[in-house]
Chains A and B, each alone.
Chain A
Amino acid sequence: MNSVSVRALLVRGMLAGLATGVLALITAYLLGEPHVDSAIAFEEANSHDHGHDDGVELVSRTMQATGGLATGVLVYGVALGGIAALAFCVALGRIGRFGPRATAALVALGAFVAVFLVPFLKYPANPPAVGDPDTLNQRTALFFLMIALSVLLAIAAVILGRRLAPRLGNWNATVAACAALVVALGLAFAFLPSGDNVPEHFPASLLWEFRMSSLAIELVLWTGFGLIFGELAERLIVPKAAERDERQPETAAVS
């Protein structure tokens, strides 16, 4: 058994989550915020039937778009970075002959798909003005249910793939497990109620661009996490390889 400390990996996961959270925050500020502003402008123009926040403004728009956004994205990054690091601890040496860097990349890919992409395909991100406040409880419950279901099915698919590998070989076992996952998710998508409630005349292009910016934020978050955490984990677990990598530029400089 490996003697690498889980604590060290958890700390590195949270740090990698913070670092990649900064990249996601920049993406969110540059790509996402203009669409949030456009959606709020639409909401205010049609406020007779969608009047949330009327009266006193508790937090100014400027603070929401800077400090508030930063808090949300960075805490999200640290928390998911920590969880992904714990998933990495379980996956390391158990999902095939992958080194720490490749394992981190696979865990990040799996987390992006299971935690964000699959729930997003069923219950996509909505800008302000989209979504009926009266159905918030139901939409929130369905959204978290979808994440839990997606993560549990993904874990089940990994376990299934591992069981099938000795009989079918690694490639076919992976294909079979992925196919089973897709079928199970398809059934879940078919039976769970859909949650969309887009107000009349809400610009379709704005909705699309908002959702694409949401996708871009998560793509940056998880790509960054996979690469940064992978590097930190590799240096922790395979110290010799990291030392060799560091020495190479020095010897090149000397000669």
Chain B
Amino acid sequence: MAQSAAPVSSRPALPEIAPISFKEIAPWLAFGGILMLVLLYFVGAEQGATSLIAGKDVHEWVHDGRHLLGFPCH
């Protein structure tokens, strides 16, 4: 698809994709976004620099993932 190279007149233009309104995205961004960040926190940082749950089990369980995904582990 040489859409960028084609002259405007010779081909029908790509149908423009309408944006999704911010009003519709906002609640998902707030709720979904925060939920995803909580998941990332447990994979990346819990029982490292900060700790909500006592012990080292979470840290030890995701230990290799933390190192390989680039999080500071210990």
Contacts and interface: CB of A to CB of B under 8 A. Distances in A.
Interface of A: 1-2, 4, 6-7, 10, 28, 32-33, 36, 52-53, 58-59, 63-65, 67-69, 71-73, 75-76, 78-80, 82-83, 86, 89-90, 92-94, 97-100, 103, 116, 119-120, 123-128, 131, 133, 136-137, 139-141, 143-144, 195, 210, 213-214, 217-218, 237
Contacts of B6: none
B48 A143 contact: no
Given A59-B57, A133-B74, A73 B69 contact: yes
Interface in B26-74: 28-29, 32-33, 35-37, 39-40, 42-45, 48-50, 55-57, 60-74
A143 B71 contact: yes
Given A89-B29, A128-B74, A139-B72, 16 more contacts: A6-B20, A71-B43, A72-B62, A72-B64, A78-B36, A79-B37, A79-B40, A82-B33, A82-B36, A83-B36, A83-B37, A90-B29, A126-B73, A137-B49, A139-B49, A214-B69
B69 A237 contact: no
A4 B20 contact: yes
Given A36-B67, A94-B19, A214-B69, A89 B28 contact: yes
Contacts of A92: 17, 19-20
B2 interface: no
A76 B60 contact: no
A128 B67 CA distance: 7
Nearest to B22: A90
Residue of B20, B24, B45, B66 ringed by the most chain A CB atoms within 10 A: B20
B17 A99 contact: yes
A-side interface mostly: helix
B14 to A, nearest CB: 6
A103 B10 CA distance: 25
A67 B63 CA distance: 11
Contact of B65 (A7, A68, A133): A68
Contacts of B74: 52, 128, 131, 133, 136
Interface residues of B, number: 44
B5 interface: no
6 contacts: A32-B64, A69-B65, A75-B43, A89-B25, A89-B28, A93-B20
A86 B72 contact: no
Contacts of B18: 1-2, 93
A92 B50 CA distance: 36
Contacts of A218: 69-70
B5 to A, nearest CB: 14
Contacts of A89: 20, 25, 28-29
Contact of B49 (A36, A76, A82, A141): A141
B21 interface: yes
B61 A76 contact: no
A236 B19 CA distance: 14
Nearest to A240: B15
